Amino acid sequence: MMKINRYNWKTMNSKEKETLFSRSEIDIKDVQESVKDIIKQVREKGDTALLSLNHKFDKTPLDMKLRVSEQEFDQAESLLSEEVKKALQYSIDNVRRFHSSQLPEAMKMVEIQPGLLVGEKAIPIDSVGLYVPRGRGFFPSMLYMLSIPAVTAGVRRVCVVTPPDENGTVDPACLYAAKLCGVHEIYKVGGAQAIAALAYGTESIEKVEKLSGPGSMYVTAAKRLLYDQVDVGLPAGPSESIVLADGSANPQKVALDLMIEAEHGSDSAALLITHDSNLADNCERIIKELCAELPEPRKTFVEDVMKGYGGIIVTDSLEESAEVANLFATEHLQIQTKEPFHTLSLIKNAGEILLGENTPFSIANYAAGPNAVLPTGGNAKTWSAVSVRDFIKYSSVIFSTEAALNEISPHVECLADYEGFTTHGDALKKRRK
């Protein structure tokens, strides 16, 4: 009989809260030693290590080529149905439209006092490496969610790493999506070894300035170990979601939406938070019915999540439900309440917020427009979804006229003297003389 965790927020003990709130991110320490060894191998042996690790973890031929060839790109298109190609084009168009709206002005200056112009110059990061996972599913959607903001930002070199299958080939939908996004540099390598290759470079993979993209605990562990070698970007780990609902919600729709993120893997989290125990009971029953019909391995993943990092939390009020959701700071939040826009005003922490029963996680994950690569593990308290901004940095720009310099100098000299920085003050005083 399937088990679904049921908690009452008021009586939940601190151990239960800690387990739920730390979710599977905590398991990363279990793989750190083996990931350290993978990184060492890649650093010391480059491509040779990549080929042998590919063989070990992904059962690939040892003599495979790491870079996807032009011929493979061309073949990919012929392997896909017209329907899949159309769906990819449709989704990519929406995602591109949304991300184009995020482009900042290349240069912004304001005259903050007469003759003193200050501002920022937006400069795309020179090279980025995007991790597209494959272990538990194909992710062409991840490919366009990561590539579109990078290409839109104007990054000169956008490359992708993704695990190959046993024949040493990459998912054709990923290759087709890459072509539509204008990305031509793809390497057939996944896991911690791919992250190490992007951070240090190998004979065939040039190192990059920044990484982006979610992955398994091996990928996350590698990023944590390499954070001082390369910009590791957004902390995106195992998927997690909350459906926040009240008594007005349709239990069938809540149950369906709750299972969406749970099907990513046993380490995902999927919680229903509600102050209506009738809704909780009905959802519990419907999830069990729906789960029985799922094919493997999705059935096992959903079952594991519901007795692991997921389940149902019953609170005393809508306000308390929102408070629990804010504490959890989930990656995906869906609100199915009578007045979703009012509930929105109670939310402070969530990677994305979907309003109402007609906005399930699925449409946001693929085609609504905003990015589906979102902060996990509580990082939504300080991080945002992947965006064009992730691939742009800003240089401050200042221009002063002589009159403005004369006006500002006495104040700067005073503060420089106070801090004991003689040269700073002298540079102004001696210039005047």
**99 noted as active-site residue:** no
Coil vs helix vs strand at 309 = coil
Cα gap 155→388, rounded to integer Å? 10
Instruction: Using alpha carbons, select from 143, 114, 149 the residue that is nearest to residue 131.
Output: 143
Q: Which of residues 134-163 bind ligand NAD (CB under 6 A)?
A: 134-136, 142, 163
For position 130 contacting ligand NAD by CB under 6 A, the verdict is no
State in Å, rounded, how far the first CA of the chain is from the last one: 88
Site string for ligand NAD, 297-336 (x = CB under 6 A): ----------------------------------x-----
> Among residues 189 and 273, whose Cβ is nearest to ligand NAD?
189
Tell me if residue 69 falls in helix, strand or coil. Answer: coil
Does position 390 interact with ligand NAD (CB under 6 A)? The reply is no
Peptide bond into 375 cis (omega under 30): no
Tell whether residue 218 is a contact of ligand NAD (CB under 6 A). Answer: yes
Give burial (CB, 10 Å; 0-12/13-18/19+) of 72.
middle
**DSSP secondary structure letter of residue 264:** T
Number of residues that bind ligand NAD (CB under 6 A): 29
Binding flag, residue 58, ligand NAD (CB under 6 A): yes
C-alpha–C-alpha distance, residues 352 and 180, integer Å = 26
Determine, following the binding rule CB under 6 A, whether residue 73 of this chain makes contact with ligand NAD: no
Our finding on whether 23 is near ligand NAD (CB under 6 A) is no
Output the six-digit token pair for 127. Answer: 């090279």
Q: Is 374 a residue that touches ligand NAD (CB under 6 A)?
A: yes
Q: Among residues 332, 342, 411, 419, which one is catalytic?
A: 332
Measured from the CB atom, is 280 or 306 closer to ligand NAD?
306
Q: Which of 25, 331, 352, 357 is catalytic?
A: 331
* 205 sits in which H/E element: none
Instruction: Return the closest-CA partner of residue 400 out of 39, 182, 112.
Output: 112
Give least dist CB 102 to ligand NAD, A: 17
Q: Which pair of structure tokens corresponds to residue 396?
A: 């401050």
- Our finding on whether 216 is near ligand NAD (CB under 6 A) is yes
Give residue 315's region: left, alpha or beta (phi > 0; psi -120 to 50): beta
Please say if 332 is a catalytic residue: yes
Q: Which stretch binds ligand NAD (CB under 6 A): 77-85, 232-240, 321-329, 417-425?
A: 232-240
Structure tokens at 272: 């229903």
Considering the complex, what minimum distance in angstroms separates the CB of residue 132 from ligand NAD?
8
DSSP tag of 231: B
Task: Out of 373, 388, 392, 416, name the contact with ligand NAD by CB under 6 A.
Answer: 373
Which residues are at the interface with ligand NAD (CB under 6 A)?
34, 57-58, 133-136, 142, 163, 190-192, 214-216, 218-219, 236, 238-239, 264-265, 267-268, 331, 372-374, 376
Q: Enumerate the active-site residues.
A: 331-332
